[in-house]
Structure 1
């Protein structure tokens, strides 16, 4: 066994870090400084490409001599020979199978697309694929097994892997996101870099990619991989006839109504052109919604309208491409839509259809903003493994056995998405239904309230534990997954997904360990594995442990930084991925320090004013506020580090954290304090004292009073009706002013219900007088939603008596409203405060109201309520 002194030193360092586990992994390695990749006598073009890929990937980390031959040289005795290919086309491979009595590769052992990786002699390694893709996956496993010295490669001496994928369909999308280009300001990938991303996922086990016709399609097919095309059955932004327009679920334009005969004919003609020009895709997907679809009465149930149109299109496509398998997705369909499709499939054999596709908004047992309007409450009687798997199981039960279930899972956003942080608690659906108590954990996962202000939905992140759970809840019912990816920020999630589609029994610890070794090398892997788990924990809002107190932020920073020091130069020099994890570490720590500084400023001001509320003290407080965002030396160092790392990762691979360009925030609502201090300065006597008390003792309702902080996971014991607010669109900085305190930004609301947000107080002092103070604010909407958002006011009632009629809520920046409660209303020791929507809100036809609801309409809205005894 030949091991260089430098590598021996690395081995001893690793043993010191984890003596038992790591020593067992590295003690039996053979070292080689020469490598011959030996193909069969008549290799296919795909086999030649795979051989070149293996050569190129090894040379990136080791300068050893590598040749690609089509015959095994009898003279080569001091190097490693890798016999790569399919045994039936490779005489040398066949000879090794016979000589060492190796079982032939079959459809059951290892299985379709499988391979054998085995060293039969000291310097001979078999990399035998059952088919062309099997060769590619053999190379992927070999690259994961290799270790690199300064001028040698090291291979386990007793290597034996006979493996095949567990799922038939394993794929994703690829490319750079608009967020990366516009917000992170990265350079565009070259064609070679795009190809590299495709091959990275293919080496992990992917076999299909969503792609348009063109060079990238040809590149994917050249490796024997599969392709998927897509078509929106009612997507036609170029069609300008207003009579053809669809009533899309949130009012988006660019879609036609399939129930308009002329519009339907137009779509079939458009599709005919698409079918003629399209390449021979292996799969063709028709998405039903998100966006798309039509909510009008003529289309109802839209599921039936949609599937009949798709059938006509499939007939056209199969005339040109008879081997392409067709599937559809039921995104944003409701219960009636799905049932209509079940009935259609069971009516008679639909041989044109291969599978039912399951993507964002397809699930009838989870609540997502802007997605399904009705849910299958009958499926909740017994929870089984939880809400994620209930509907896939039901789909496979109801549809004919000839059809498959294939997934289109969304694992690319960290908030406001299919399996991401819901961001706020779910609202009731059209039938008034909410999820059962045992499924609440799905919705109580919330993003850290400070980190979410900095990072976009498409930020760099890794979620091993949560997505491992999602995968295992869902994939047991399907034949695979072609995940939705909006960029390269979801690198870990997509990579783990492909590996789990190959080996779903692998533990999350095994997945993270393999990922860390594959991308950062064996020296850095143990620390990077710990860092990835820590990152997932850091991103979540943890009750009782706000960001300034999260020790995991600093721990993650130290883990990633130390792993970089352990990484040999051949791993570290062009490692854009490590730089992305390190940027995240520096930026998270910067944010933590800034939030801590703002909190300290707020506390300091409260102390000053609590001791002395003179004009001089208030002026001093304003000066302190002006310095709240001044950067400390540590913060400046972290920011410079993040900038340098971002410039390096952009240069190396066109990636960078967009968070670097979005660090300036009022995280805790110091803008509110600034306004309150200025109001106090401008007032005298009792009025000034009221302003001061809110600064120094904000939540305290006084003796005999009660305070409700409405919103998700907040303490609001008197609320009896309403839902924590969800506006139906991703959080935008402009929607609510950051000058609001966090408690002012969070609220309860109702939609088109006749009954508004309600609070019921009990055990009041019947002899006392009470007043009610409330915090109110309304959000700003993007232009595409604002056109249907006419709600501005609400009416406030106390035990049915009007306290304020058509009270207008302030836009974006909250304010307080106080009303005296008539004494006779509390003589019985109880009081009901409720809100009622304005008369002109959520009126109109069914479709108009549904679009209003789906895009975040609110009828009543309230942030905080104090019941004060005086």
Structure 2
């Protein structure tokens, strides 16, 4: 008997004997063979190879392949294209014929007890591959055993024709640049098994370095390998190709760019579609952009005559004039034009794009499934502690979020190819592929398939539910999320009972790493919050114990986060798992040890970043210590203690807290607008003095000029969407001053109105944090005021981190 934990044996025994109520009896196909009559269709033959190889890899059973269906009682797995099953038993043909009809790329799977067989009948060649993938996902493959659910009778076709993911071989990715062609083949196969039919690759020249220390092949050679691999699975090859030239109007610059395209397009065996972003990077005016695309298309068609060019209206600082020109070109219906791509940093909601462009022009989604903040679909209500530590590109399974994001707009597009930067979004990829195939698929079904096929059938339910708990870890306030420790205990219990091969499985390790990391941050946040509160209590006694003594004791208390850390064993377990993931799949989770790029997946580097105001407080202490007068030192300490105090009758709001968000006015909720094109979102980063891309606190030592941690959080609206914040129960007979902190990633020109009365005209943010303005008396005469921030045209958005409404 194989080494399976007792609890799993009990569950497995029940599974064998119980039918109904969602439980299916498993049929033993360990002594079966594979039958396929087709000898000519290369994709059908590839599907047979996939089935045979994956079964052998996971069960150590090598199934024979035959083109004859004999009358022995041995079970068979039969593969073919529907309409070409004349050699199959009549009972099989009748069963397949009676099942609902399929469409392009669809398949039927039937278990026929009469012929002792499971049959995969593809609508076409691709359908055979996806039928094989579905069978593999539902099988239980263990060492020496192949089990098939008795009730596995499926007729299925994809809802959308475009289903894929971007696998860019470049240094910015957190893993892909370390992969070999064999690793890409394995991963592309996994994606195909979950329904993907497209892979998007990148040219060597992007907004990135040409090479990295991890690359084993030049990029031009690797993209040739990627295209060859995709073609072997019959998958479409897309290429994301930004415009990185210096000038697309000068003949010399255009010639250089065209020569580069000749080299790249000639290098790949297959290229079905070219995606050229309108910006991010490579901003061009629409007239210049489409003139260039016309020339690019001529080169493209020399090597790939049927390839189409798709383009996106991505632009960081958009104007209406730019959009009018862009959509005018889109509706011109160039013969080389494929469609519009909807992705990050597109101002126009996809529903509006659908109305603007011709009904026959397809839209492809380009969802950012890889980032958690400063992105297309940030985690709603994310805790600042996670934003600081997990950062922008952590291991980020978000199954329920991804389904909701997908289903919010799926009917408006022809499918999607995701924006991915590496292995961190692995779960999200499988969820998106499953949703593009069938938006009605419950995410738990995808997760069970993921766990059963990619990790272990003996831990199907445990891992599937464990991934769900990881998503719950990052929802809402971390300080009060006691379930984080339960998530840790569940993953640790799985690890204790797991066999060695499971413990070494990178996908299992990614889940375990996040469980450990999250629990460590939870314990640290509780600890460091208490340390700050104790330090402030000490400062409040400074008048009695002396300012210098109070400062010294407060300092000693604050730095206990370093001198007496909490739960260090969890941190070191994270380090071990990060090393293992680097060695197995090239995951680059630290800069120094694993060679990651800053801000690109190196969240382990952030594991001990402060979660309280320690850096700002210590900086303030160093200033106060230089004050010669005890009286003035005490006054400075009092300013620290009362930094957020708006005074009697006043109001204070920190928009990193749920309570303050209750003041924000919005008619659109997250489920309707997950990209926040019409609704406010949380943002992170101080962004002062021109530092646009700040996602974490700089914590080397605790030295350096620092900001209050409240400045790391903002309420944000994108582009010229108004930001409205409401204050009620004001004294209509009093006057008020608004003190406001303008921090954040954007350096926008913002204007503030109070009930349509000007408070301040457009001013440039990012230069200083705090501004004060008199609130017009007329605006508060009814005891309520709506503050309304707007940006000028072409700006990236309004951001507010703190408000003091001070009663005079």
Deviation at 1:450, TM superposition (A): 0.7
Residues 100-125 of structure 1: CA deviation (Å, up to 9, x unaligned): 44266799822111222223246422
Pick one of 84, 91, 95 that aligns with 2:79: 84
2:234 paired residue number: 224
* Paired residues for 1:230-241 under 5 Å: 230-232=240-242, 235-237=243-245
**Distance in 2 separating the partners of 1:694 and 1:204:** 58
- Is there any run of 5+ residues in structure 1 with no aligned partner, and where? 238-253, 366-390, 422-444, 792-798, 837-841, 843-848
**Distance in 2 separating the partners of 1:537 and 1:477:** 29
Match of 1:517, SS state, is helix
2:559 paired residue number: 626
**Distance in 1 separating the partners of 2:38 and 2:766:** 78
* Paired residues for 1:293-442 under 5 Å: 293-294=283-284, 299=285, 302=286, 304-318=287-301, 320-332=303-315, 334-344=319-329, 346=331, 350-365=334-349, 391-392=350-351, 394-421=352-379
Is this contact kept in 2: 1:411–1:490, CA < 8 A?
yes
Pick one of 138, 141, 160 that aligns with 1:167: 160
* Paired residues for 1:138-537 under 5 Å: 138-174=131-167, 178=171, 188-211=178-201, 213-232=223-242, 235-237=243-245, 254=246, 256-258=247-249, 267=257, 271=261, 279-294=269-284, 299=285, 302=286, 304-318=287-301, 320-332=303-315, 334-344=319-329, 346=331, 350-365=334-349, 391-392=350-351, 394-421=352-379, 445-537=380-472
1:575 paired residue number: 505
1:601 paired residue number: 531
Match of 2:28, SS state, is strand
Pick one of 551, 573, 576 that aligns with 2:482: 551
Deviation at 1:322, TM superposition (A): 2.9
Match of 2:148, SS state, is strand
Pair 405,505 (structure 1): closer, same or farther in 2 beyond 3 Å: same
Residues 315-356 of structure 1: CA deviation (Å, up to 9, x unaligned): 553455332233222222654444435444556x54433322
2:11 paired residue number: 13
Match of 2:164, SS state, is strand
Is this contact kept in 1: 2:238–2:273, CA < 8 A?
yes
Match of 2:131, SS state, is helix
1:796 paired residue number: none
* Paired residues for 1:855-870 under 5 Å: 863=802, 865=804, 867=806
Deviates more, 1:728-737 or 1:608-617: 728-737
1:689 paired residue number: 634
Is this contact kept in 2: 1:462–1:490, CA < 8 A?
yes
Pair 863,550 (structure 1): closer, same or farther in 2 beyond 3 Å: same
Pair 197,692 (structure 1): closer, same or farther in 2 beyond 3 Å: same
1:666 paired residue number: 610
1:71 paired residue number: 68
Is this contact kept in 1: 2:387–2:695, CA < 8 A?
no
Alignment length (residue pairs): 736
- Higher Cα radius of gyration: 1
- Is there any run of 5+ residues in structure 2 with no aligned partner, and where? 204-222, 590-601, 666-679, 750-756
Residues 665-715 of structure 1: CA deviation (Å, up to 9, x unaligned): 222111232244455554545433323334445433444555454778674
**Distance in 2 separating the partners of 1:111 and 1:801:** 60
Match of 1:102, SS state, is helix
Deviation at 1:549, TM superposition (A): 2.1
1:373 paired residue number: none
Deviation at 1:267, TM superposition (A): 5.0
1:38 is the counterpart of 2:42? no
* Paired residues for 1:465-864 under 5 Å: 465-540=400-475, 542=476, 545=477, 547-565=478-496, 567=498, 572-611=502-541, 612-614=544-546, 615-632=548-565, 635-655=567-587, 657=589, 658-681=602-625, 682=627, 684=629, 686-704=631-649, 706-707=651-652, 709=654, 715=660, 727=687, 729-733=692-696, 739-746=706-713, 763=731, 853-854=795-796, 863=802
2:598 paired residue number: none
Match of 1:481, SS state, is strand
Pair 408,706 (structure 1): closer, same or farther in 2 beyond 3 Å: closer
**Distance in 1 separating the partners of 2:27 and 2:233:** 30
Match of 2:695, SS state, is coil
TM-score of the aligned structures, taking structure 1 as reference length: 0.72
1:378 paired residue number: none
Residues 606-633 of structure 1: CA deviation (Å, up to 9, x unaligned): 233334442434322222223232354x
Is this contact kept in 2: 1:669–1:739, CA < 8 A?
no
Residues 361-412 of structure 1: CA deviation (Å, up to 9, x unaligned): 33413xxxxxxxxxxxxxxxxxxxxxxxxx33x4334433442222222222
**Distance in 2 separating the partners of 1:325 and 1:809:** 42
TM-score of the aligned structures, taking structure 2 as reference length: 0.77
Deviation at 1:645, TM superposition (A): 2.1
Aligned-pair Cα RMSD in Å: 5.0
**Distance in 1 separating the partners of 2:153 and 2:764:** 74
